[in-house]
Chain A
Amino acid sequence: MTGLTSAMIAYDVDTSEKQRQKQPKFYGFIKDGRHQRGRTFFLMTMISTLHNLSRSLGYAILAVVDLNLALRFFVGEVGANHLYKLLRRDFYYWVRLEGVLSVIISLVERTLVKVITDFTVSGRVRVLSAGGGNH
């Protein structure tokens, strides 16, 4: 189900006429044609599902061995990503907000995108305003 949702997000954005007109070099990796589209969607779903299963199972095994270690691993992984974004001055999300709210929204957005990227490798989050280089 997670893989299917992830593939649907990437599929819908990539096949959107509006997005293809706006950024033709970025969108359009799904070829036109019913069979090609179906095949690409199926493969994206399988990649996301298998990747999610392997990561989830890995985290679950780590949690069975030591729950705190699993939590520390997660915080370390996400923290390293945020630190990298901060060093590159790319931490703030594109939505224009001010003060503490901008930090909170950016932190939440960057964390959610990091989780989606790591667990589903969704083609959508490779966009610069979301996952960017960490994809």
Chain B
Amino acid sequence: MKEVVITLTTVDTVTDVYMIYLYKVNGLHGNANTMIAMIASNTVFQLILVLVTYKKKGWRTVLKEWLVTLLFMRPFVDAWRVHKKHDDSETMTDPLAAMIMNKGIELATESIPGCVLQCYVLLLNPSLGSSR
């Protein structure tokens, strides 16, 4: 089940990038920038979570985990750790809790506001994205 959702989450990132491109092309720069701000806030919150979770393990681990987040590989890595029942006593949370926290941050800062924004833009520009 997780594998399907993780793959779809990555596809979701690609569709977000496409939405930004579509808004920019159609001159909706304000909306495109709002979408970028949502993705940025999602990344910032996840970076803070990484810092809190891996603080005890030292800066080298924190930097490695930050890189995973910045490359949008977090869903894959979290799913892999849950699947392998990865156990690390030095981290603040177990892999399942970490995955849920990251998913929660993504939902609240990117997916839900993104959905509201896309509905708003579509209501104001009904022909957006259509070939006519």
Contacts and interface: CB of A to CB of B under 8 A. Distances in A.
Contacts, number: 79
Interface in A1-57: 1-2, 4-6, 8-9, 11-13, 16, 18, 41, 52-53, 56-57
A57 B118 CA distance: 9
The size bracket of the interface on B is: 20 to 34
Contact of B116 (A13, A56, A113, A120): A56
Contact of B107 (A6, A11, A18): A6
B119 A5 contact: no
A15 to B, nearest CB: 9
Given A9-B104, A112-B108, A112-B109, A2 B123 contact: no
18 contacts: A1-B9, A1-B12, A2-B115, A5-B9, A5-B106, A6-B107, A8-B103, A60-B116, A60-B119, A60-B122, A111-B108, A112-B105, A113-B104, A113-B108, A115-B107, A115-B108, A116-B104, A116-B107
B71 interface: no
B123 A13 contact: no
B28 interface: no
A115 B103 contact: no
B47 to A, nearest CB: 14
A56 B2 CA distance: 26
B1 A2 contact: no
B38 interface: no
